[in-house]
Amino acid sequence: MSKSAKKNAKRKEKKKQQQEPVSSLANALEKTRLDNQSEANEAKGAKVMTEPAKKLKNLKKKLRQINELKAKIDSGELVNPAAEQLEKVAKKHEIVGEIEDLELELMDE
């Protein structure tokens, strides 16, 4: 066997060895996908429970923004607030009510 033939044989063998893990890796990937699908179905039930918590977090953020905006208006830092800003401040009572409702709902669960 010539020198170049030996090199080519080594290359082929190396390439073959590299492809074997790829096929076993592909099988493992398929198995993982199936496992993830079953976990995703279980997680859907958990997402329904976390929606009120997520909404509560967002409402608290809005309330914090409203309080900051109101403080700027009261201190005179914001002289001419836009109409949208005034509407946002006016909705403070609605948001506080929604937060209280969601907190009660979360306590019941």
pLDDT single digits (tens) 12-63: 887 776 665 556 656 666 666 655 555 555 555 555 557 888 999 999 999 9
Position 92 pLDDT exceeds 90 = yes
In the structure encoding, which two tokens stand for residue 78, read together?
């914001």
Percent of the chain exceeding pLDDT 90 equals 39
In the structure encoding, which two tokens stand for residue 84, read together?
């949208």
Q: Which of 108, 101, 24, 5 is nearest to 59 (CA)?
A: 101
Residue 51 is predicted with a pLDDT of 84
Residue 106 contacts residue 56 (beta carbons within 8 Å)? yes
Q: How far is Cα 85 from Cα 59, in angstroms, rounded to an integer?
A: 16
